[in-house]
């Protein structure tokens, strides 16, 4: 049975780092594509830090219900604008996960700043403000590392598959990326078989030791 209060409490804590991670991930894809000459994302209004432009309604609902699986609205990319499509696709795909890792570093630095402030502020202010802020930063580190690693998996349509496809011969790359129609099913199976749970539990332990 769902504990609505607990779910809302968890969502309130993870909302900021999750929305920041999803938004920056998609903006990074679109911005790098724009730098390589593709204006598609810019023309679609996707080079914005407004998270509402990047949320997928169904993906958000699934995330709220499962608290495990979710997805954003992919940024539109047109590789025909790239002078070197393979190079462009590789760097555009890598940009999303790297944005998540960079954001994790920012949350880590904020966590350290808040921890320093905790030592000089009175207990009342520290508990009221710094406690929740540090918890948000902790989940900011954890969520963004997980998002970065998850998207590097070579399972279509994840970013890692697009990066790998740029190193494959044309026909083999097409056959490989044709698996995209089965990608969601593959991901669901891996999740419920515990493949990702085992990996990300180690990530959580690493982040916990890193910040505490």
In degrees and rounded to multiples of 5, residue 55 shows phi and psi of -75, 135
Write down the catalytic residue from 10, 26, 83, 180: 26
In degrees and rounded to multiples of 5, residue 158 shows phi and psi of -65, 160
Cα separation, 20 vs 28, in Å, equals: 12
**Distance, C-alpha 140 to centroid of its chain:** 10
Dihedral, CA atoms, 139, 141, 94, 46, nearest 10 degrees? 50
Mark whether 26 is an active-site residue.
yes
In degrees and rounded to multiples of 5, residue 38 shows phi and psi of -100, 110
Query: Which two structure tokens, joined as six digits, stand for 186?
Result: 């593959």
Check if the beta carbon of residue 197 is closer than 8 Å to that of residue 189. no
Check if the beta carbon of residue 116 is closer than 8 Å to that of residue 133. no
Check if the beta carbon of residue 87 is closer than 8 Å to that of residue 5. no
Question: Active-site residues: which are they?
Answer: 26
């Amino acid at each position: 049975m769902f504990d609505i209060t607990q779910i809302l409490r968890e969502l309130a804590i993870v909302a900021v780092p999750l929305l920041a991670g999803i938004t920056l991930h998609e903006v990074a894809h679109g911005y790098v594509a724009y730098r390589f000459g593709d204006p598609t994302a810019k023309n679609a209004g996707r080079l914005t830090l407004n998270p509402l432009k990047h949320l997928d309604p169904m993906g958000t609902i699934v995330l709220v219900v499962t608290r495990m699986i979710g997805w954003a609205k992919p940024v539109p990319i047109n590789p025909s604008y790239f002078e070197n499509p393979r190079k462009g696709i590789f760097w555009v795909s890598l940009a999303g996960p790297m944005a998540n890792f960079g954001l994790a570093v920012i949350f880590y630095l904020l966590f350290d700043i808040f921890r320093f402030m905790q030592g000089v502020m009175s207990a009342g202010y520290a508990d009221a403000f710094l406690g929740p802020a540090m918890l948000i930063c902790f989940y900011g580190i954890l969520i963004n590392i997980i998002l970065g690693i998850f998207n590097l998996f070579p399972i279509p349509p994840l970013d890692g598959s697009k990066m790998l496809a740029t190193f494959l011969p044309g026909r083999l790359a097409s056959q490989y990326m044709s698996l995209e129609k089965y990608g969601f099913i593959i991901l669901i199976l891996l999740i419920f078989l515990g493949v990702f749970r085992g990996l990300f539990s180690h990530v959580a332990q690493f982040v916990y030791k890193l910040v505490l």
